[in-house]
Structure 1
Amino acid sequence: MSLLEQLTKDMVAAMKAKDKATLSVVRMLKAAVANEKIKLGHDLTPDEANGVLAREFKQRKESLAEFEKAGRQDLIDQVKHELAVVEKYLPKQLTPAEVSQVVKDTIAQVQATSMKDFGKVMGAIMPKVKGKADGKVVNETVKKFLQGK
């Protein structure tokens, strides 16, 4: 079942359950996926669909940080619910230990020796973890390992 089909099915379920909060998030996700499909001019591959979901997740995470800074509890609760809904559709995220292992393996694979090789390491890692790990976490982990060398 494609992501668009899954979102449609979940949208109908949310309508029947009269769950307006979930319904609005599923509608936003469905619109984002449909817009990306139109923009690219073809059905989305699983990687492209995951990219759209990751982008939506990241936007909400950034909003959450801003709302927390502003002390807007009403919006914080809403965004946390939206994050939980979006997370259901994302692939399972890698744990920090798994990210560290991927980073170690990639550093060995590209034979990185210092921070000068940062770009080369990131270029090799990101396709492996796309949609499965936050780029910021990967970035910090790579820096930690390369600075230790």
Structure 2
Amino acid sequence: MPLKQQLTEDMKAAMRAGDKQRLGVIRLILAAVKQREVDERIELDDTQTIAVLEKMLKQRKDSISQYAAANREDLADVERAEMTVIEGYLPAKLSEAEIDALIEAAITETGATSARDMGKVVAAVKTKAAGRADMGQVSARIKARLG
């Protein structure tokens, strides 16, 4: 089932169950997806929807750190609860070994030999690891491997 359809079904289930917190977060997700679709005049696929979810997750992490710095744990707890719901729609994270295997496969596939070829390798890994790995850390590993 496509991710957007899953979100819609879960929204209906949350309405029936009276789970206002979960319902609110799902509505936020659907609104963010719809906003991107309207802005770009496209229909988002699962990969693009996952990118929207990752962006929302990053926003929540930033908010939590700011709330914690301001001693507003009540607001930080709300953000953490939202993060939990959002993370439920993201695919399972890759293990270190799986990331290393993807990097090795991408290096072989692209024929990369030095740090100049890093862009090709990152692009190849990004398509396979979208939403399942922190691309900042993956890029650092690729750089270390090629450097």
Same-fold call, TM > 0.5?
yes
- 1:43-95 deviation line (CA, Å, top 9, x unaligned): 32222222222222222233334334444322332222111101111122212
CA deviation map 1:107-140 (0-9, x unaligned): 2332333333322321222122122222112122
Structure 1 counterpart of 2:17: 17
Q: Are the aligned partners of 1:104 and 1:145 in contact in 2 as well (CA < 8 Å)?
A: no
Q: Determine what percentage of the aligned residue pairs are the same residue.
A: 39
Instruction: Describe how 1:42-121 pairs up with structure 2 within 5 A.
Output: 42-121=42-121
Ranges in structure 2 where 5+ consecutive residues have no aligned partner:
none
User: Relative to 1, partners in 2 of residues 1:2 and 1:75: Cα closer, same or farther, differing over 3 Å?
Assistant: same
Q: 1:7 to 1:146 in 2, by over 3 A?
A: same
Question: TM-score by structure 2 length?
Answer: 0.81
Deviation readout 1:96-117 (Å, 9 max, x if unpaired): 2211211122123323333333
Aligned residues of 2:7 and 2:30 also touching (Cα < 8 A) = yes
Q: Which residue of 1 aligns with 2:139?
A: 139
* Structure-1-length-normalised TM-score: 0.81
CA change 1:143–1:72 in 2 (3 A) is: farther
The unaligned stretches of length 5 or more in structure 1 are none
Distance change >3 Å, CA 146–CA 26, structure 1 → 2: same
- Distance in 2 (alpha carbons) for counterparts of 1:71 and 1:98: 38
- Give the Cα separation in 2 of the matches to 1:21 and 1:57: 16
Contact kept in structure 2, 1:103 and 1:125, CA below 8 Å? yes
Contact 2:4–2:46, Cα closer than 8 Å, also in 1: no
Distance 1:15 1:141, change over 3 A: same
For each residue in 1:3-33, what CA deviation from the matched residue of structure 2 results, as whole angstroms up to 9, or x when unmatched? 3332232223323333332222111001011
Supply the distance in 1 between the matched residues of 2:7 and 2:115 (Cα, whole angstroms): 42
Q: Over the residues paired in the alignment, what is the CA RMSD in angstroms?
A: 2.3
Q: SS in structure 2 opposite 1:48?
A: helix
Looking at structure 2, the residues matched to 123 and 3 of structure 1 have their Cα atoms a distance apart, in angstroms, of 23
Distance 1:123 1:134 in 2: 14
